[in-house]
Amino acid sequence: MSTRKPSSSPAPGSVGEYLRAQGISRRGFLKFCTATASMMALSPAFVPRLVEALEKAPRPSVIWLSFQECTGCTESLTRSHAPTVEGLIFDAISLDYHHTLQAASGEAAELAREEAMKENWGKYVLVVDGSIPLGNPGFSTIAGISNVDMLMDTAKGAAAIVSVGTCAAYGGLPQADPNPTGAVSVQDLIKDKPIINVPGCPPIPVVITGVLAHFLAFGLPELDELNRPKVFYGQNIHDRCYRRPFYERGQFAETFDDEGAKKGWCLYKLGCKGPTTYNACATTKWNQGASFPIESGHGCLGCSEPRFWDGGSFYKALSVPTGDLGQTAGYALAAGGAVGIAAGLLARQKKAQAVKDHETVTVNDLHKGEHS
Amino acid sequence: MSATLERGINAFKEHLDAPIASFFSSCVHCGLCADACLFYTETGDPQYTPIHKLEPLRRVWEQEYTLWGLFKKAIGLARPLTDKDLEDWVPLLYNSCTLCGRCSMVCPVGNDLVYMIRKAREGMSASGNAPEGVKGAAKRTIEIGSPMGVRLPALKAQAKHVEKDTGLSVPFDQEGVEYLVMMSSMEIMNYPEYLEAIVRIFHQAGKSWTLSSEAFEATNAGIQIGSSDIARDIVSRIVTAAEKLKVKTVISPECGHAYTALRWEGANLIKRPFTFQVQHIIEVLDELREQGLLKTEGMEEEKLTFHDPCQLVRRGGVIQQPRNLMNLVASHFVEMNDSGKMNWCCGAGGGVSANEDADEIKMKAFNRKKEQLEELKVDGLVTACANCRIQLEEGMEEYEMELPVYGLTEMLAEHLVKDK
Amino acid sequence: MSGAEFLLWVRGPAFDMAMAIFLFGLLLRFLEIFLLGRKTDLSVARGNAMAGGVRTMFTRFLPADKNSFQRSAFTIVAGYVFHIGLLVALFLFVPHIELIKATVGIGWPGLPTPIVDFFTAMTLIALIAVLFHRLTHPVLKFLSTGEDYLVWAVTFIPLLTGYMAYHHLFFEYAWLLGMHILSVEILLIVFPFTKLMHTFTLFLSRWYQGAMAGHKGVQS
């Protein structure tokens, strides 16, 4: 029995060749491609095209810049689970600079970045995690270079920019009110390059690799109004939530340990932001498809949405206003009372004046001037 | 002195109060009041929608007494009231409103529209925008003593007739009696039966009563024209007479607005409570009936119905009493489809009958009553308001209906147990 | 601005502003009404004014009588449908109750969403019918001012956007929810300065009329 030969052999220096060299079987590779295609909602007919494209795609040079971030996004990718194909896809790229993961440090590291840029000018992919402080360049520097300078410099030769995580995509936690560092997102600064936002705090690991796979195979994915790939961020958590029937029936958990919570009822009242959140959590899930936050009994935080930190308490229902209404109401009522009393007294005074001005009407006063 | 727009607006400003502010704040323009107003239902003309009749008053309220309105006026969004506006509203506030108050009953937000119309007329009369007919009635009441120009000698002559017919005396200016009986000039001129009925009923009941030669006219054109000053003058005469004669009770005649003027507005007009009580003759008669002092015999066999005078019933609260009395003397008493507090006005109250400009529309409005009567197929109609009675008779003449109209008091008197 | 940011704005500063104007206006309008004062009635009462006032506050929820109902059947029926639907959608939809609970401090159980959805659809239809009626009925056409149509629109739009948000129609949910909340904020701002005030003043008006009638011994 001979092993069925692939229709085409991986091109030299391609992703396919690298994977093969790492001992990934053809079967494993096909499985990954099928899973990725299905996640991207591509029809089965696209699987061979994805396979072919990935096998042929040259290993791209990737420069990964980390600014004001918590390393959660990198952790999400590297620690989520045992080595898998998607992990290796990540490995399969030529990660030329990533200051958390690389061995080199200091000037040597920066030199590597500059070299990679020079060599692959116009072709490398720039991945960014973390937001960029504009308040004071000194708030965050790498090798003495401010984040904004490094980003602007590195972005110049990039083919595309992938903003990984909510901080890079929208500003995230550093930007949360009152935004002490003046943090902004990548797309706030760069307007002349294709930017793919892969938000999430952190993003789902397979979504990160899926976006890279898509980029390698088919180029830029179709993006939504927030520059998120529609294939991964087209689904509304609330619409895909397995607890949705409880919402419809009006069955809600009121606390985290009541009967409703135990029965797995809807978490809307506990602040679930599923209705306004677009992400693949409810379908792709986390930890190799094990579960997602709502399944674990906690409402969605809406972490893939801009300014999700500023939407009031995570435990306040979505319909509840975020401000301090008590104070607002107090001021408004005080003002209304003051103005109302003033207006009312003015009216009373006017009325009293009218009573004073009253001239007794007699039957001889019933005609207008010309008749009198 | 002459009437001016300023005086009119000043009057609006004096009379606007918290209830009116609440009413205008509440109106949602639902139009239900139109369906309750016979001037709209019988003409189909939307300008007769009750709330629309109050537009001048509303504008003064908004522009003078609301911050929002002051702002609107300041930036030119709200047009100040002109004399022309008021002139245009004469047909709406006088000719096509009898102050019947039916609209007030159906308003879902609870607006008392007729309360506002009454107040709106204050501004209309002060600005000289009242119809000539009502102005004349007011002038005659003040200068002669009665809106129809009836003087004391006419009443005296009638009294003499009654004395001759009944053999009983008609007392004038008796001090310390129980009742001071008031008349409406309509009764003096057109329905002498009323006085005769009073004489006989009180004689049978053994009640002391008197007429006053200084104040015998109960009708109050001041209320109709909507001038508190004039109304006060007219009411004051009665108050003076009643207090001079030290009577316990002043009896309002079979006249709707006279009752309103005396019973509800009087004390407020003179700005102090009365020292005597005021009752409508129907209330008095029902009390006598209860006390067994109204002894009747025989029943009217005809199919009869009772036309509720609005001021007596809806605006006066005397609802059950006329029915008790009807049942006393009528064996076949039937109610109209809308009766009691939801009755339909005859079409000529609230000064409309004194206003020649309204002659045509009041006849159109009567169509409602005509339909009610045709539906019932009665042989006769009883009421307790001389003004309604005139309108009913004229209306039936106009529509060529032949239906006798009786006054309730005189009908009762006809059934009094005869003296031996 | 993204949908999420828009939503944040309408849930935050815009809501505060709208609520402030609403409460300010409400108190202002009530003081304007009350401070205008009212004379005491010096005539001898036949009935109890207070009993009459309380009575009318409630009896006016129903038509005066059968004949009055028949004469104005469309207005009354459509009025009931949209008012009841509005109240159900406003007060028995769980997210709304959550809002009330968070702002006022009291809550109550809601209805299953398909039921609220049904009432909302019914209310939308009734409001369209009411508008059509206003545009065609001689009296309503004659009476109606710009304010009447404005008030109709600011009532209709929150219902429509709420309905759209629930069904995820046409726009992203954050935008829909944001538009829904914004439309309610517009309603709140317009409220104290238009006939929408009837929501509260009708009790006052009914009280006044009922008390005046009660004083005379008439059940109004």
Name the residue among A339, A355, A365 with its Cβ closest to that of B14: A355
Q: Rounded distance, CA B251 to CA B228, Å? A: 21
Amino acid (one-letter) located at A44: P
Q: Rounded distance, CA A53 to CA A44, Å? A: 15
Residue A3 belongs to a domain: no
- Check whether A310 has a pLDDT greater than 90: no
Could you tell me the CA-to-CA distances from A321 to A312, A316, C17 in Å, in that order?
8, 9, 11
Q: How confident is the model at residue A92 (pLDDT cuts 50, 70, 90)?
A: low
Taking CB atoms and an 8 Å cutoff, what residues of chain B touch C140?
Answer: 29-31
| CA-atom Rg of chain A in angstroms | 30
- Residues A223, A87: one domain? yes
pLDDT score, position B369? 92
Q: Which residues of B touch A (CB under 8 A)?
A: 1-4, 7, 10-11, 13-14, 16, 64-67, 83, 125-130, 135, 138-139, 142-143, 225, 227, 229-230
- Check whether A91 has a pLDDT greater than 70: no
- Torsion angles phi and psi, residue B3, rounded to 5: -75, 140
- Torsion angles phi and psi, residue A146, rounded to 5: -70, 155
Residue C51 belongs to a domain: no
Taking CB atoms and an 8 Å cutoff, what residues of chain C touch A317?
Answer: 95, 98-99, 102
Q: How confident is the model at residue C35 (pLDDT cuts 50, 70, 90)?
A: very high
Q: The dihedral of CA A320, A321, A324, A328: what is its sign?
A: negative
pLDDT score, position B26? 94
Domain final residue, candidates A228, A245, A279: A228
pLDDT score, position B82? 92
Residue A365 belongs to a domain: no
Residue A340 belongs to a domain: no
**Could you tell me which residue, A52 or B356, shows the higher pLDDT?**
B356
Residue A318 belongs to a domain: no
Summary mean pLDDT of chain A: 83
**Other beta carbons within 10 Å of B44:** 10
pLDDT score, position B106? 94
Residue A52 belongs to a domain: yes
Taking CB atoms and an 8 Å cutoff, what residues of chain A touch B64?
Answer: 347, 350
Contact C209 B112 (CB under 8 A): yes
Name the residue among A252, A328, A344 with its Cβ closest to that of C32: A344
- Residues A152, A19: one domain? yes
Size of interface A-C (CB pairs under 8 A): 150
Q: How confident is the model at residue A218 (pLDDT cuts 50, 70, 90)?
A: confident
Contact A275 C177 (CB under 8 A): yes
Contact A225 C102 (CB under 8 A): no
**Other beta carbons within 10 Å of A227:** 21
Cis omega (within 30 of 0) on the bond before A178?
yes
**Other beta carbons within 10 Å of C37:** 15
- Check whether C12 has a pLDDT greater than 80: yes
Residue C71 belongs to a domain: yes
Min Cα–Cα distance to chain B from A320, Å: 30
Would you call A155 helix, strand, or coil by DSSP?
helix
Contact C98 A317 (CB under 8 A): yes
Q: Rounded distance, CA B145 to CA B165, Å? A: 27
Interface confidence, given as ipTM, is 0.92
Q: How confident is the model at residue A4 (pLDDT cuts 50, 70, 90)?
A: very low
Question: Which conformational region is residue A41 in: left (phi greater than 0), alpha (psi within -120 to 50 degrees), or beta?
Answer: left
Q: Is residue C177 within 8 Å of residue C165, measured between CB atoms? A: yes
Q: Rounded distance, CA A320 to CA C99, Å? A: 5
Of the candidate CATH numbers 1.20.1160, 3.40.50, 1.10.287, 2.60.40, the domain formed by B294-414 belongs to 3.40.50
Name the residue among C25, C36, C113 with its Cβ closest to that of A250: C113
Q: The dihedral of CA A48, A53, A59, A60: what is its sign?
A: negative
Q: Is residue A47 within 8 Å of residue A54, measured between CB atoms? A: no
Domain final residue, candidates A170, A201, A228: A228
Could you tell me the CA-to-CA distances from A1 to A4, A311, C149 in Å, in that order?
9, 62, 81
Q: Rounded distance, CA C188 to CA A321, Å? A: 14
Q: Which CATH number characterizes residue A304's domain? A: 4.10.480.10
- Put simply, the chain C residues between 88 and 127 with a CB less than 8 A from any chain A CB are 94-96, 98-99, 102-103, 109-114
B6 token code pair? 């300023």
Min Cα–Cα distance to chain B from A323, Å: 28
The residues, ordered by sequence, that sit 6+ positions from C117 with a Cβ below 8 Å of its Cβ are C163, C166, C167
Name which of B12, B23, B94 is nearest B361 in CA terms.
B94
Min Cα–Cα distance to chain A from B45, Å: 29
Could you tell me the CA-to-CA distances from C210 to B27, B382, B390, C3, C202 in Å, in that order?
16, 29, 32, 50, 12
- Residues A75, A148: one domain? yes
For residue C152, the chain B residue with the least C-alpha distance is B28
Long-range contacts of C93-96 (CB under 8 A, 24+ apart): C94/A250, C94/A252, C94/A268, C94/A269, C95/A268, C95/A317, C95/A318, C95/A319, C96/A319
Residue A68 belongs to a domain: yes
Residue C49 belongs to a domain: no
Query: How do the pLDDT tens digits run along chain B, 420 residues long?
Result: 688 889 999 999 999 999 999 999 999 999 999 999 999 999 999 999 999 999 999 999 999 999 888 898 899 888 899 999 999 999 999 999 999 999 999 999 999 999 999 999 999 999 999 999 999 989 888 888 888 888 889 889 999 999 998 899 999 999 999 999 999 888 888 888 899 999 999 999 999 999 999 899 999 999 999 999 999 999 999 999 999 999 999 999 998 899 999 999 999 999 999 999 999 999 999 999 999 998 888 898 899 999 999 999 999 989 999 999 999 999 999 999 999 989 999 999 888 888 888 889 999 999 999 999 999 889 999 999 988 998 999 999 989 888 999 999 999 999 988 765
Q: How many domains does chain A have?
A: 2
Name the residue among A350, A351, A365 with its Cβ closest to that of B1: A365
Contact A236 C173 (CB under 8 A): yes
Which strands form A61-66's sheet, in the order they lie side by side?
Answer: A94-98, A61-66, A125-129, A160-164, A195-198
Strands A141-142 and A145-146: antiparallel
Min Cα–Cα distance to chain A from C166, Å: 9
- Check whether C174 has a pLDDT greater than 90: no
- Residues A171, A208: one domain? yes
The one-character DSSP state at A84 is -
Structural domain boundaries enclosing A102: 15-228
pLDDT score, position A372? 42
**Other beta carbons within 10 Å of B224:** 33
Question: Which conformational region is residue A140 in: left (phi greater than 0), alpha (psi within -120 to 50 degrees), or beta?
Answer: beta
Q: Length of chain C in residues, anyone?
A: 220
Contact C65 B51 (CB under 8 A): no
* Side-chain half-sphere CA neighbours of B381 within 13 A: 28
Q: Rounded distance, CA B33 to CA B173, Å? A: 46
Could you tell me the CA-to-CA distances from A3 to A6, A26, A27, A81 in Å, in that order?
9, 10, 11, 30
Q: In what helix (H) or strand (E) does residue B405 lie, and over which residues does it extend?
A: strand B405-407
- Check whether C134 has a pLDDT greater than 90: yes
Highest mean pLDDT among A68-72, A140-144, B284-288, B357-361: B284-288
Q: Rounded distance, CA B224 to CA B264, Å? A: 14
Q: Tell whether C34 is within 8 A of chain A (Cβ).
A: yes
Q: Chain B interface, mutation test: which of A350, A365, A366, most B Cβ atoms within 10 Å?
A: A366
Would you call B180 helix, strand, or coil by DSSP?
strand
Residue C21 belongs to a domain: no
Rounded to 10 deg, the angle between the A26-39 and A85-92 helix axes is 90
Contact A350 B64 (CB under 8 A): yes
Q: How many domains does chain C have?
A: 1
Name the residue among A357, A364, A368 with its Cβ closest to that of B10: A357
Which strands form B179-181's sheet, in the order they lie side by side?
Answer: B209-210, B179-181, B249-252, B277-280
Min Cα–Cα distance to chain B from C159, Å: 19
3-state secondary structure A332-344: HHHHHHHHHHHHH
Structural domain boundaries enclosing C74: 3-7+64-216
Cis omega (within 30 of 0) on the bond before A202?
yes
Min Cα–Cα distance to chain C from B417, Å: 32
Mean pLDDT across A47-58: 76
Min Cα–Cα distance to chain C from B261, Å: 11
Report domain extents, chain B.
5-130, 135-288, 294-414
Residue keyed to tokens 């009643």: B242
CATH architecture classification, B5-130? Orthogonal Bundle (1.10)
pLDDT score, position B419? 64
Contact C8 A329 (CB under 8 A): no
Q: Chain B interface, mutation test: which of C143, C191, C219, most B Cβ atoms within 10 Å?
A: C143
Name which of B201, B209, B180, B211 is nearest B291 in CA terms.
B201
Rounded to 10 deg, the angle between the C173-190 and C146-167 helix axes is 150
- Residues A145, A251: one domain? no
- Residues A216, A87: one domain? yes
Q: Tell whether B4 is within 8 A of chain C (Cβ).
A: no
- Residues A223, A278: one domain? no
For residue C25, the chain A residue with the least C-alpha distance is A336
- Put simply, the chain B residues between 325 and 354 with a CB less than 8 A from any chain C CB are 337-338, 341-342
Q: Rounded distance, CA A204 to CA A293, Å? A: 12
Name the residue among C20, C28, C102 with its Cβ closest to that of A339: C28
Residue keyed to tokens 């008030």: C151
Q: Given this chain, do its domains B5-130 and B294-414 carry the same CATH topology? A: no
Domain final residue, candidates A278, A310, A342: A310
Q: Is residue B226 within 8 Å of residue B124, measured between CB atoms? A: yes
Chains that touch A (3 or more CB pairs under 8 A): B, C
Strands A145-146 and A61-66: unpaired
Q: Which CATH number characterizes residue A110's domain? A: 3.40.50.700
Instruction: Quick: pLDDT tens for A187-199.
Output: 999 999 999 999 9
Instruction: Quick: pLDDT tens for A148-171.
Output: 998 999 899 898 999 999 999 999
Residue C43 belongs to a domain: no
Q: Chain A interface, mutation test: which of B6, B227, B232, B269, most A Cβ atoms within 10 Å?
A: B227
Residue A335 belongs to a domain: no
Contact B2 A343 (CB under 8 A): no
Min Cα–Cα distance to chain C from A234, Å: 10
Size of interface A-B (CB pairs under 8 A): 79
Q: Rounded distance, CA A293 to CA A273, Å? A: 11
Q: Is residue B114 within 8 Å of residue B219, measured between CB atoms? A: no
Taking CB atoms and an 8 Å cutoff, what residues of chain C touch B104?
Answer: 209, 220
Q: Rounded distance, CA B267 to CA B239, Å? A: 9
Residue A22 belongs to a domain: yes
Mean pLDDT across C25-41: 92
Mean pLDDT across A242-271: 90
